[in-house]
Structure 1
Amino acid sequence: MAQTGDPDDAVPPPGPGFALALGHAWRTFGITWSTSRSLTLLIAALTVFVALLPALALYLSKLVIDGVVTAMDSGAAGDRDLALIWVTAEAAALALLLAARRLLVFYKTRLHAELGFAVTSIILRKSAALSLAQVEDAAIQQQLLLARQYAASRPYNLVNRLFDGAQQFLTLISVAALLWGFSAWLFLLVVAGGLPLFIGNLRFAGTAYRFYTGRSPQMRERSYLESLITTEAAARERLHFGFGDELLRRYGDLFESLHGADTALHARQAWIAAALGVLSSAVFLGGKVWIVWVTIGGAISLGQMTMLVGLLKQGQANVSSLLAAFNGVVEDLLYVANLFAVMELPEEDRTGGATEGPDPADGLRFENVSFSYPGRKRPALDSVSFHLPHGARLGIVGANGSGKTTLVKLVTGLYAPDSGRVTLDGLDLRQWQHAALHRRLGVMFQPFMNYKLSARDNIAAGLALAEIDEADILKAARLGLAEELIGELPDGLDTRLSRHFIDGHDLSGGQWQRLAMARAYLNEQADILILDEPTAAMDPAAEAEFMQRPLDGKSVILISHRLSNLRGADQIIVLDKGRLIEAGTHDALVAMGGLYAELFESQADPYREG
């Protein structure tokens, strides 16, 4: 449940130091440059143009007013014509400023979309390159979540604020030049008027980051509760067991907790910002009163007064905007730092380049293999050894948590052993080229994925979603007992398998399992077939048909809780709490009277009683 403490108490990733922050800003700008050089240059040019026009327009307004006063006093045609020239020039400057600002918004919108896509692509490529152990790491999952969540906004916001800051700085320089020529202390007043809001915003930039990153687990919980209430996957149990109201209550409590903390943070920020805003306005008002006072005294003209008041207002706005941009940059850098932390995650070492082993007749071996998950006291596998010759069938038995699925991940190279080694054809799997290893293995994982794509894609995933001949797809479907299922789908292989789409079609658990088996069979080059609980959701007839199918010389690793499926295995190993405690044929293990025999008898008794 959400925590309701002070947001300052949250413990997020630390923010970057000054030198590192500059590096992150430069790297972000580098990504922007590589995304679209033309857009970056165009926005930079428009930024300079928009930055210099306000001071020019204010100076022209002074000339207009002074020209009008002079023309009224003299009545000369030349003075009147000059005043009209100045007003035309001012109108042109303001029109150009308006047009440039609108173009700047348009091109920045384009950059926002393109940069968001580029950053998201970087994150997805990095995620695809991570090892299974990294993907399963909760801390890395948190980093990836934050990076994806802010991929389209924070890098763009940082670049946009850098452009805005440059624009405000250039405008401030031009305003300062005009103010300094009249009175240096007016420029200092402009700077002093913007400092209060800057200090307040800087204080809240870090607080907001700590607050929003610190509550990410609660946000994930809220999203999960929403999915339990809205998705069809949870609907059956939710409706049958009747816990919908309890889910709504928890969702409401979580919202109240998050909303309460959010409101408290923004309330503090609003009150402090209001007080600092009043102070800033008082500074501006003091300067304006002084300008009017000296104008009444005849020290400056009416046009100069108008220009100076405008410059004072423009300068204060520039200072506030410049410092606000700086505050925003500080906040954005905190989020961008997480993006670069993701980019710098070490990728899996895929230096193995072997495509075959020295002893093609040796098959698969585990030699004293041990593996432990981070943070677990007991090894998932502890000194496990066995040999699977080519063309042999190996059955694996064990209770949940005994290490069966971990063994599959080691066989497929998704994990590397902590000690010992796994070899194929006499060569350590770490030395194999990943693509070559994957070509040798057809795998049905447990749990398997139900891809909300077409039936064709669900099978083609077995060969990296490559373009596969339909005949090969249908052959794999036949081997996976999915041929009849494909024929019954409204659009055959092109049927979208999800009710999330208007034309989608849903499947039962057993039907999804058949597609997963077809996926494993698609790789005809595979000479080792790994099936993790392949008949768990099958009806008895389909299970019998599957178990009696010839496997054309392939080696098979079959994991099953139904021990009757393993009677034809050349060897069966029994795992218990990560250790291999029994090994042999079905008949030998039954005669041994150990754990396997107990499990087999317990499954056979109900049939005897029947």
Structure 2
Amino acid sequence: MSDPDPDSVSEPVPPLRDRLSAAGRTLAIIAKTRPGLTLGISVLTVVAALLPPAALYVSKLLIDGVVAAIGSGLEADRNAALRWVVVEAGLLAVLLVVRRGLVFQKARLHAELGFAVARLILDKANRFALAQIEHPRVQEMLIHAKQFAAARPYGLIVRGFDSLQAGVTLISIIALLAASAPWLILLMLVGGLPAFLGNLRFSGDAYRFYTARSPQMRERNYLESLVTNEAAARERLHYGLGDPLLGRFSDLFNDMHDGDRRLQGRQAVIGSLLGIGGSAIFLGGKLWIVVATIAGRFSLGDMTMLIGLLKQGQNAVNALLAAFTGSHEDLLYVTRLFALLDLDEGRTAGLATEGPTPGDGLRFENVSFAYPGASTRALDRVSFQLAPGTRLGLVGVNGSGKTTLVKLAAGLYRPDTGRVLLDGLDLAEWDPAALSRRIGVMFQPHVNYKLSVRDNVESGIGLATLSPDAMDRALAAGLARELVDELENGVETRLSKRFAEGVELSGGQWQRLAMARAHANEAADILILDEPTAALDAEAESAFMARPLAPGRSLILISHRLSNLRTADLIILLDQGCVAEVGDHETLIGQGGAYANLFALQADPYRT
């Protein structure tokens, strides 16, 4: 398959090679998911395909038997006709059971295959590097995969079963027609071509239309979430945003719907005209059968069978061609699904679990980094060392590069130039799990998991189970012990009013749980806290800042409140991604530079 490019904008129809590859990979997913179920559906499909032509043939024998019984008056002919009634009833009963069985089996396949494909998408998203998952194009591909492509593998397989059924039925009908009216075979095959050609054309148009609308669908989903999400409800209600947001939502829908309506309208008109042409061909064949029967060429039973075979044959041809057309459309989306699954994850994992110089700590060596598409660097030639047991404070105005530095220090981004080292080894060479054990992080903004208190804390160690003592220590470190003690179900309390039994927390309470999460990994010898006290009251902030570091543990503390950095061993002031000032609090105050000015601005309101 060709290498996918997340920066590509147009959505041309994928080449045939990619579509065939996608078909093979879809079959591989089916074989891996439930091979026995697939085999069972195949067997039932073949039986369901053979029964209708068989029933028509029995119906012919029945009608001819009835005519013979009427003409002879013999009891033997009467009984023979009645036996065909029983046989026909038996075939129809079996057909009913088989069809019900197919519905049941396909429902099972739908559920299990849907889960398997959804899991593939989620597994892929889980493996993306941060820079990749943040890319707008990757987000669009993920949304498109979940909304359109996830169900397409099942559609492709079901159309394969439909093709199998229609093909077996068609072969049976051809065999029966060949003995009586071979030319009807050609008529039957030609009758389905007009609709097939029209549908094949529109399947490509539909794919190009819907894939081109992925950005609009993403915006529409976001607007919908702003109206329904409880996190946005306060501002939406207070500022009266609901109606304007719904107006934008409606405008997007109308814009997309107008294009969809025009596409569907053209398809309906052209499809109707082509369908009329196909029906005219069928009626011509039916007329010939009736005239030939009147002329004595066919018996009444032959006429009934031939008309039924012609109709069933045309339906089989239409079903076969429709399955091919639908499969063509499914393959377009499935190919795009596999383009997502083949996308470079942007994440190269190392294997190292320790560095060559234990105790050297964390080092930034001339590190520069720019976000994709940005004209300026978020960090520019930043260098420093965080030795074990060191408190490092990071300060700077918004957009100065502090949060970017945190992501680089945690190994979530790779520098464009320079190196980030832990114990003398580049972070790119560390095993991600080992790196996670060494570095605990509280990000800004932190995530409020709508799960239990336990899950919120244990997510800091990958949802591994903390012992009661370890949980208590983490809660204490995050100043969340009293909060949890007040909850009726303690750490098992479900959070968020999104759930009937859920409890809602304040911003400061959520932040305490985020701090507890960062402290859950007691093995971490480096702790990075990005604005950990932003939502805390003054008493809680003072208590948090007074806590001593564990022996040998280093701390990177980012705070706009410079008073929190007075005890830091080293303070770095960032300005437009560059290191502008370095030193401890007293040194920087003495220099009278930008740090001193910021500190004075914050301290002035408290001076009398």
TM-score range, shorter chain: over 0.9
Q: 1:288 aligned to 2:286?
A: yes
Please give the alpha-carbon distance, in whole angstroms, between the structure 2 residues aligned to 1:102 and 1:391.
70
Map 1:492-571 to 2 at 5 A: 492-553=490-551, 554-571=553-570
Map 1:173-188 to 2 at 5 A: 173-188=171-186
Q: Which amino acid aligns with 1:401?
A: G
Unaligned runs of 5+ in 1: 1-9
2:14 maps to which residue?
16
Q: Which amino acid aligns with 2:38?
A: T
For 1:191, which of 189, 192, 198 is the aligned residue? 189
1:24 positional shift: 1.3
Map 1:271-350 to 2 at 5 A: 271-350=269-348
- The Cα offsets for residues 376-402 of structure 1, whole Å up to 9 and x where unpaired, read as 111111111001111011011111111
Map 1:376-387 to 2 at 5 A: 376-387=374-385
2:604 maps to which residue?
605
1:43 maps to which residue?
41
Map 1:100-119 to 2 at 5 A: 100-119=98-117
Please give the alpha-carbon distance, in whole angstroms, between the structure 1 residues aligned to 2:488 and 2:218.
36
* 1:530–1:557 CA contact under 8 A, matched in 2: yes
TM-align CA RMSD: 1.5
Q: 1:254 aligned to 2:252?
A: yes
* 1:350–1:433 CA contact under 8 A, matched in 2: no
Please give the alpha-carbon distance, in whole angstroms, between the structure 2 residues aligned to 1:400 and 1:87.
86
1:353 positional shift: 1.8
- Residue 182 of structure 1 aligns to a residue in which SS? coil
Please give the alpha-carbon distance, in whole angstroms, between the structure 2 residues aligned to 1:350 and 1:136.
17
Please give the alpha-carbon distance, in whole angstroms, between the structure 2 residues aligned to 1:458 and 1:208.
44
Q: 1:150 aligned to 2:148?
A: yes
Q: Which amino acid aligns with 1:48?
A: V
1:575 maps to which residue?
574
Q: Which amino acid aligns with 2:579?
A: L
Please give the alpha-carbon distance, in whole angstroms, between the structure 2 residues aligned to 1:565 and 1:334.
56
1:390 maps to which residue?
388
Q: Which amino acid aligns with 1:68?
A: V
For 2:52, which of 44, 51, 54 is the aligned residue? 54
* 2:140–2:218 CA contact under 8 A, matched in 1: no
1:588 maps to which residue?
587
1:11 to 1:325, Cα distance in 2 relative to 1, 3 A: farther
1:68 positional shift: 1.1
Q: TM-score, normalised by structure 1?
A: 0.96
Please give the alpha-carbon distance, in whole angstroms, between the structure 2 residues aligned to 1:243 and 1:145.
25
* 2:191–2:281 CA contact under 8 A, matched in 1: yes
Q: Which amino acid aligns with 2:400?
A: S
Tell me the percent identity.
61
- The Cα offsets for residues 290-344 of structure 1, whole Å up to 9 and x where unpaired, read as 1000100111111110010001100110111111111110110111011111221
1:463 to 1:11, Cα distance in 2 relative to 1, 3 A: closer
Range with bigger deviation, 93-102 or 30-39: 93-102
Map 1:96-135 to 2 at 5 A: 96-135=94-133
Q: TM-score, normalised by structure 2?
A: 0.96
- Residue 355 of structure 2 aligns to a residue in which SS? coil
* 2:367–2:416 CA contact under 8 A, matched in 1: yes
- Residue 422 of structure 1 aligns to a residue in which SS? strand
Q: Which amino acid aligns with 1:397?
A: V
Range with bigger deviation, 252-261 or 493-502: 252-261
- The Cα offsets for residues 458-490 of structure 1, whole Å up to 9 and x where unpaired, read as 001011001211221121011100111111223
Range with bigger deviation, 205-214 or 377-386: 205-214
Q: Which amino acid aligns with 1:53?
A: L
1:582 positional shift: 1.2
1:430 maps to which residue?
428
1:488 maps to which residue?
486
1:464 maps to which residue?
462
- Residue 587 of structure 1 aligns to a residue in which SS? helix
Please give the alpha-carbon distance, in whole angstroms, between the structure 2 residues aligned to 1:287 and 1:12.
46
1:209 maps to which residue?
207
1:351 positional shift: 4.3
Aligned residues: 600
* 1:15–1:337 CA contact under 8 A, matched in 2: no
- Residue 383 of structure 1 aligns to a residue in which SS? strand
Please give the alpha-carbon distance, in whole angstroms, between the structure 1 residues aligned to 2:404 and 2:440.
17
Please give the alpha-carbon distance, in whole angstroms, between the structure 2 residues aligned to 1:527 and 1:248.
49
- The Cα offsets for residues 249-271 of structure 1, whole Å up to 9 and x where unpaired, read as 22232232233322222222222
Unaligned runs of 5+ in 2: 1-7
1:5 maps to which residue?
none
Q: Which amino acid aligns with 2:294?
A: I
1:55 positional shift: 1.2
